[in-house]
Every structure is written in C-alpha cells, then in structure tokens.
C-alpha cells in the first residue's frame, strides 16, 4: 500500500546581493555560479502551471557531501519501482529492493540526487518495451552521488569520489533494470565523471543526459565557430544547454531561441542574441535563416523552413521532415569530463526547474509535472536519503 505523500514544497534560499541580470538563480549549499530558478511563494496562484517572473541572485555557501559509511553498504534499499507499463499510478516506493551487485567494470553509487527526462516517462509508458530491460524496473538515467564500492577492473574512480553521469550508455537499447531513482545504483566507470566542484548534487544530477544530448547533436550537425543556430524550446532541459554550448564551447556567431513570453529573459541570460516569443511570432516566417535548427520540442515540419540551404535540422522528438534527422544519445563520461571546465568556470550553467527539487517521496508527482511539458530546465529529485 502506497504511503501518503507530503505536500510539494519549494526550498527557500538566503537573500544575497543581486547580480546584473533580471532572473533569479539561487545557489544553495556550495560556492558556485549556476542557474537555479526561484519561484513564486507558496499560496500564489499559478494557473496552468504558468511560468513565474524571475530575478537573479547569488549566494556563497559551502556544500558538504552526504555522510556515507563506506563499509556499511546495506543489502536492501528504498527505490521507486514499476512492475507494469502505464501511467504515473504504476510507480510504487518500495523499501525492500535489493542493492544491485557491482560488476568488475562498475562502481556502486550512494545516490544523492537524480533527475527526470522525457525518456523516463516514455519508457514507463512502454513506448520502447521491445528493447527495454525486463520488468520490474527502477527508473532513472541521471545520477549524482558518492562512490561507495568499486569493481576489480575500475581504473580511476575510488571510494569517496563525488561523481555524476547518465547511467545508460544507450538510452533505448537495454537500459538498466536498476536505475537512479533509488538509494544506490551501479554504473560503468566509463559513463561517469567527477562532479564539478562548484556544483551541488542537485545541480549536477540535472546535467548528464541533457548536456550529452546537446553536445552530440551539435557535433552531428558539424556545428563550428561562426555558424548560426536556432533552438526550439530554448528554456527546456536540452534547449537551455544547446544555447550555452553553441555559444561558449562551439563559438556560435548568433544564437536564436524560442520560448513563451515569461521565459524570454531566461533565454537572454543564457546568451541568446534573438529571443523569439512563440506565442506572438512564427519563427519560420522570419526573413533570417540559420545554419542549424535544433528542434527540442517536436516541430520539425516548421524547423526545416527556418534553415539555410545546405544546413542541418536536429529533431529530438515528433515526426522528422527531411532534411531533418534524429539520433539517440550515447552516454560518455569523456564528454562530461571535456565539459567540466566550462561548468566549473561558470561559462555553462545548469538550469533547475523552480518547482523542484522534488523530495524522494514525491517522485510520482515529479513525473506528473514533467509530463505536462511545461518544465523549465531540469526536474530534479533531491535529497535522496
């Protein structure tokens, strides 16, 4: 029988010195410069999960890693599980799930935070059950936490390391039966990187799958310095990172992006040169065309009208219209390691949805929220006890 879940709540943060932006990025528990978005106080009406006006603030507080007894790994753990495909109601919090065994090339992680992605919901709904792992399933791709045990062939990581990563090398081909929405999870060493020192676990957990998707998509288009790009759904988990990588890592000459009216200032703070309100403008009608269009919302039929002749269109979801193409991301710890300097310098920043982080007891509510397709940045689960 499922326990009664507590009412969702927002974290409160100290009131720091404002920065020279108009959006609010609150930084709990560590010294950093990152994008965690503040939201409306409890009790404020929010019709249809409407986006809230934001402001930018910063604070400096030291983060401490979760206390982990490296010698006392339990045999059972709490984990979210589903034994059949379906809606959010198939998710159950099970307190007696076996802690997975560590293979020789894997590490066991005490999970501190996890994050949800659209693929988590599609997997639970049975959208790719032909290539899924056997049921019952502990869902979850993104993880951040502490290594508590290493396999015999692990070369670099050691017990006590703070790491993050996407635990499924191939998102749709045999993803792990035991995912990250649990107190412990196992993962191959090659899929992990050390957590950026300036980010807390909640921020780091929201990055892996989205930033790997953004990076691989840009690479597949041959994106390079001096090229222009249009990002559809620039305020989403992947879109917000495509913007930053295109600008800060690949050297884009111009970045345009779409969002709703309330999120335009967020786009500008991320480095967007042309912020397009999709409620008021049709991006395909603009006279300017782009070298690359990165469609992170499912509008490929319109995206192909905004690309230059000979350009590329990446379509992450929905029907693909030529010359658009789709790919499924491959998880690589090497990509995270390559991008860590940009994260640690603050040039690339995680964006955490203002309704979170959701506590571990409210994973089902977090799933319901991400399935509204109204999330800003990433939906994060933290803390995981």
pTM of the model: 0.84
At residue 22, the pLDDT reads 33
At residue 70, the pLDDT reads 63
Mean pLDDT of the chain: 87
Work out the pLDDT band at 68, boundaries 50, 70, 90: low
At residue 44, the pLDDT reads 38
Work out the pLDDT band at 118, boundaries 50, 70, 90: very high
Residue 10 predicted with pLDDT over 50: no
Residue 4 predicted with pLDDT over 70: no
76-101 pLDDT tens trace: 999 999 999 999 999 999 999 999 99
Q: Mean pLDDT lowest for which of 36-40, 104-108, 132-136, 162-166?
A: 36-40
- Which residue is associated with the tokens 């290539």? 131
Tokens of 354: 């203002």
Work out the pLDDT band at 69, boundaries 50, 70, 90: low
At residue 344, the pLDDT reads 98
Alpha-carbon torsion 92, 96, 97, 102, what sign? positive
297-334 pLDDT tens trace: 999 999 999 999 999 999 999 999 999 999 999 999 99
At residue 86, the pLDDT reads 98
Dist. CA 265–CA 38, nearest whole Å: 14
**Contact of 115 with 56, CB cutoff 8 Å:** no
Mean pLDDT over 46-70 rounds to 40
Q: Apex CA 33: angle with CA 30 and CA 36, to 5°?
A: 80
Work out the pLDDT band at 131, boundaries 50, 70, 90: very high
223-270 pLDDT tens trace: 999 999 999 999 999 999 999 999 999 999 999 999 999 999 999 999
At residue 72, the pLDDT reads 87
**Contact of 194 with 161, CB cutoff 8 Å:** yes
Work out the pLDDT band at 156, boundaries 50, 70, 90: very high
Dist. CA 230–CA 319, nearest whole Å: 18
Mean pLDDT over 145-166 rounds to 98
At residue 36, the pLDDT reads 42
Closest CA to 10 of 49, 47, 37: 37
Mean pLDDT over 7-26 rounds to 36
């Amino acid at each position: 029988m499922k326990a009664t879940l507590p009412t969702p709540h927002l974290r409160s943060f100290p009131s720091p010195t404002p920065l020279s932006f108009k959006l609010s990025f609150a930084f709990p528990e560590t010294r950093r410069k990152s994008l965690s978005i503040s939201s409306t106080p409890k009790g404020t009406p929010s019709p249809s999960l409407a986006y809230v006006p934001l402001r930018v603030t910063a604070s400096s507080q030291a983060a401490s890693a979760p206390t982990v007894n490296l010698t006392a790994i339990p045999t059972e753990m709490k984990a979210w599980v589903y034994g059949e495909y379906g809606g959010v109601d198939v998710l159950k919090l099970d307190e007696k799930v076996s802690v997975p065994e560590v293979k020789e090339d894997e590490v066991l992680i005490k999970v501190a935070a996890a994050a949800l992605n659209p693929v988590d919901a599609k997997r639970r709904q049975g959208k790719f059950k032909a290539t899924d792992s056997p049921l019952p399933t502990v869902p979850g791709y993104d993880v951040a936490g502490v290594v508590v045990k290493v396999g015999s062939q692990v070369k670099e990581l050691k017990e006590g390391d703070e790491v993050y990563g996407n635990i499924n090398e191939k998102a749709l081909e045999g993803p792990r039966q035991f995912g990250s929405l649990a107190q412990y999870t196992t993962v191959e060493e090659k899929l992990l990187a050390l957590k950026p020192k300036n980010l807390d676990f909640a921020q780091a957990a929201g990055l892996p799958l989205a930033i790997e998707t953004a990076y691989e998509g840009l690479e597949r288009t041959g994106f390079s310095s001096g090229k222009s790009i249009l990002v559809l759904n620039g305020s989403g988990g992947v879109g917000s990172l495509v913007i930053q990588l295109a600008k800060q890592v690949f050297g884009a000459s111009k970045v345009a992006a779409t969002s709703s009216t309330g999120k335009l200032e967020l786009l500008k703070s991320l480095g967007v040169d042309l912020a397009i309100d999709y409620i008021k403008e049709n991006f395909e009608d603009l006279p300017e065309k782009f070298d690359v269009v990165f469609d992170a919302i499912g509008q490929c039929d319109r995206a192909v009208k905004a690309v230059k002749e000979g350009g590329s269109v990446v379509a992450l979801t929905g029907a693909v219209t030529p010359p658009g193409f789709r790919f499924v991301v491959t998880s690589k710890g090497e990509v995270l390691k390559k991008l860590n300097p940009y994260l640690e310098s603050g040039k690339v920043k995680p964006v955490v949805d203002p309704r979170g982080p959701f506590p571990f007891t409210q994973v089902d509510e977090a799933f319901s929220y991400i399935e509204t397709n109204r999330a800003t940045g990433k939906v994060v689960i933290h803390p995981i006890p």
